[in-house]
Amino acid sequence: MNSRAAGAHAVHVRTKGSGGYPVLVSRGLRHAMPELLAEYAPAHRYAVITDSNVARLHGEALLGVLAGGGARAELFTFPAGEEHKIRRSWSRLSDELLAAGFGRDGCVVALGGGVTGDLGGFVAATLLRGIPVVQVPTSLVAMVDASVGGKTGVDTRAGKNLIGAFHPPRVVVADPGYLNTLPAAERAQGLAEAVKHGAILDEGYFEEVARSAAGVLAGDGAAMEAVVRRSVELKARVVSEDEREGGLRQLLNFGHTLGHALEAESGYTLPHGSAVSLGMILEARAGERIGRTTAGTADRLSETLASCSLPTALPPGTDAAAVLARTPADKKTRAGSPSYVLLDRIGRADGTGGWTHALPDEVVLAVLDEAR
């Protein structure tokens, strides 16, 4: 194995079908891609799927590295943006791979942020009833969260990620060096998911993210790599126990019921991390209102998220009733009613009677009104 890969921080994710896959975290791993693909996902050809922005920054460079290592690879792109994570993009990319002659001996390499991971993974999950995929995240959101766990899918008018499949990757290759090309505002989006991991699972990590936020935003390599490593460890622990979100994995949706509703109501102009930031605060305040969440928890969340340069108040003009009306479209909805992950306190979710809970509409409306 390439010396860069040999020194990578490796976290194993267990799966029932394939036995699992490693998540490798280390700066410089992109240069070891030929060796990593040969070890974990040997294939006749590789389809590198990426968006138009990442293609310009990293696509051709990766093709060059793969060609230099003797791997056959072609680039397939789609327009950047959450609004393009739709069935039309999936259909077009699938048709392009088929027209190019990709067969079951092929492999998809999803190079990019969470949108690319979801869309590229869904192409791999459905092409010829499933071909291998390798996740190569290039955003902090994708490294700490989206690339780990095997979820793939696309959005519809009814809501986010409502059509998709569980399709575990053969390997996740997280090179924090990719994060150097991101503006601070994009790194902040990833910090929202890191804060979430601490809030639901590890109070010490929650405090560590607050302390390291300035370094991450400034592009400090060691700070970014430390956050990626710990978040991957925490998420891997959860998804290894509950691969298909039948129980414990529901915790990872903290902040996402209202976060996804806010995203959709904004027409996806509100970035995912910002939406989750607001969703966590709102859901913590709702938990406090009904006596499930320790008083002051939402304020601690708000302070930490503010230190990460994330929003803590709703955008001007937000229609609380319209946001509430979108919550039943969340994929956690049961019997037509949305469900929410609530905290007991920072570092521990409320698991009383299950990991998700119903909230009265009037409570949700009240916290939305207060946050405007």
**DSSP code for 334:** B
CA 293 to chain centre: 25
Structure tokens, 19: 């036995």
Element spanning 178, H or E: none
Neighbours of 68 (CB within 10 A): 11
Between CA 90 and CA 94, with CA 93 as vertex, the angle to 5 degrees is: 80
- Residue where the block lists tokens 């909230």: 359
**Is the distance from CB of 201 to CB of 347 less than 8 angstroms?**
yes
Close Cβ partners of 276 (under 8 Å, ≥ 6 residues apart): 192, 193, 196, 255, 256, 259
- Residue where the block lists tokens 């039948």: 246
Q: What is the CA radius of gyration of the chain?
A: 20
Residues taking part in catalysis: 129, 151, 193, 235, 245, 249, 253, 256, 260, 272
- In 3D space, the residue among 168, 170, 229 whose CA is nearest the CA of residue 15 turns out to be 168
**What's the rounded Cα separation, in Å, for the pair 314 and 331?**
23
Close Cβ partners of 304 (under 8 Å, ≥ 6 residues apart): 195, 206, 209, 210, 213
Between CA 99 and CA 106, with CA 101 as vertex, the angle to 5 degrees is: 125
- The amino acid at residue 244 is R
Sheet holding 172-174, edge to edge: 9-13, 21-25, 172-174, 133-137, 106-112, 45-51, 73-78
Strand 343-345 and strand 348-349: the pairing is antiparallel
